[in-house]
Amino acid sequence: MDLAYIPSPSTGVIHLGPIPLRGYAFCIIIGVFVAVWLGNRRWIARGGKPGTVADIAVWAVPFGLVGGRLYHVITDYQLYFGEGRNWVDAFKIWEGGLGIWGAIALGAVGAWIGCRLRGIPLPAWADALAPGIALAQACGRWGNWFNQELYGRATDLPWALKISEGPNRVAGTYHPTFLYESLWCVGVALLVIWADRRFKLGHGRAFALYVAAYCVGRSWIEYMRVDEAHHILGVRLNVWTSIVVFLLAVTYLVLSAKLRPGREAIVEPDREPSGDSEPATEAGSEPAKAKAGAASVVKAGPESAAGAVPKAGSEPAAKAGAATEAAAPKTEAGDAPKAGATAEDKTTGGDEAAGAKAPEAKKL
């Protein structure tokens, strides 16, 4: 007897009159809203305009849904085109079946079109949206719970998922792989947010980190699943896909960091650089000294610059005149200096000049 387990819903759809409200569709819609909301906040923080993320998502989301469905239908074609199957079911997206690899690939094409129309670099937009995509996946995985699909091997753990009898499934308790992947995606989102703040990731590296981290989790979660899938060398197709995509993402991270370090200063053509993308100027550096010198000249006025002449009547001018007169004493025409005369009789300078001549007068 199972003492604890996660129950599955008795139905994945509620009918509002003739309109069916499907749990799977609601999870996808909630995920899209979460991704756009978080992506918009991150885009504004990078110096972008409010609403830009949503405008480009109008292109990316439909392309992503089509791509996700195409990947699922192509890789699991036997479910729709095998003997006794109805090919029309391939269009019933509400019954589940979206491949994340196709969704990201074709969704990127839609995003590229939207970015081209706005004159925005696609890597910068992808970086802003990366953690939101991971959270959207976390929400979307709960659609598998509503449809009672994509669960793992049988288990009696307290958090086992109870599955009821139905088409293509046997009643029992199984590993809730949908829950494992949902929690993993939340962790990936937090990792990308932390790394982006810590290392100022740019030029698509935040998105590449999301892809690499997701692939790590998808590999071991996919290995636990028991649903029908194609195998290559005894390994599920999606595990091989995760390995290949992981290697591509890591390669991009390394090469991008070497070829284009830092992050974009301007993400939209008519916006100012964001505060966290400008290179910091250390105190005492040459640009800082030049700016400080220019500011001091402007504040002090043109007369305080090097080589400026003091105004007549000012204290510096008086001292300068006194020093000049002390250096060149004046005498009256035709008069010779008398013996025993003091320095005061010989000059009209200040006290400093008199003090300098006084010792010579005493010796005489």
Element of type H or E holding 173? strand 172-174
**pLDDT for res 4:** 78
Reply yes or no on whether the pLDDT at 120 is more than 50: yes
Highest mean pLDDT among 42-56, 72-86, 343-357: 42-56
Task: Report which of 160, 181, 187 is spatially closest to residue 223, judged by C-alpha positions.
Answer: 181
Reply yes or no on whether the pLDDT at 364 is more than 70: no
Using a CB cutoff of 8 Å and minimum separation of 24, what contacts does 248-255 make?
A: 249/208, 249/209, 249/211, 249/212, 249/215, 250/208, 250/212, 252/204, 252/205, 252/208, 253/205, 253/208, 253/209, 253/212
| Mean residue pLDDT across the chain | 80
Reply yes or no on whether the pLDDT at 304 is more than 50: no
Give the position of tokens 């935040």: 206
- Please tell me the distance from the alpha carbon of residue 225 to that of residue 227, in angstroms, as a whole number: 6
What mean pLDDT comes out for the span 142-164?
A: 93
Phi, psi of 172 (to 5 degrees): 160, -175
pLDDT band at 94 (very low <50, low <70, confident <90, very high): confident
For 136, the token pair is: 């959207």
The pTM assigned to this predicted structure is 0.73
**pLDDT for res 276:** 55
Phi-psi region of 51 (alpha: psi -120 to 50; beta: other; left: phi over 0): left
Rounded percentage of the chain residues whose pLDDT exceeds 90: 56
Reply yes or no on whether the pLDDT at 33 is more than 90: yes
Contact by Cβ (8 Å): 127, 201: yes
pLDDT in tens, 185-235: 999 999 999 999 999 999 999 999 999 999 999 999 998 998 888 889 999
3 versus 41: the higher-pLDDT residue is 41
Alpha-helical runs (H) found in the chain: 23-45, 52-75, 78-81, 100-118, 122-140, 142-147, 177-199, 205-224, 237-259, 286-300, 315-327, 343-346, 351-363
Of 19-23, 24-28, 236-240, 328-332, the least confident = 328-332
pLDDT band at 275 (very low <50, low <70, confident <90, very high): low
What mean pLDDT comes out for the span 89-117?
A: 91
What mean pLDDT comes out for the span 238-243?
A: 94
- Please tell me the distance from the alpha carbon of residue 15 to that of residue 17, in angstroms, as a whole number: 6
Q: What is the DSSP-derived secondary structure letter of residue 84?
A: T
Give the position of tokens 């392309």: 63
**pLDDT for res 267:** 92
**pLDDT for res 288:** 42
- Please tell me the distance from the alpha carbon of residue 94 to that of residue 80, in angstroms, as a whole number: 15
**pLDDT for res 156:** 92
Of 19-23, 195-199, 277-281, the least confident = 277-281
What mean pLDDT comes out for the span 349-357?
A: 42
What mean pLDDT comes out for the span 292-306?
A: 42
From residue 298, give the alpha-carbon distance in Å to each of 166, 284, 294, 314.
Answer: 83, 20, 6, 21
- Please tell me the distance from the alpha carbon of residue 150 to that of residue 223, in angstroms, as a whole number: 12
- Cβ–Cβ contacts within 10 Å for residue 129, how many? 27
**pLDDT for res 2:** 54
Contact by Cβ (8 Å): 196, 211: no
**pLDDT for res 10:** 84
**pLDDT for res 306:** 40
**pLDDT for res 152:** 95
Reply yes or no on whether the pLDDT at 320 is more than 50: no
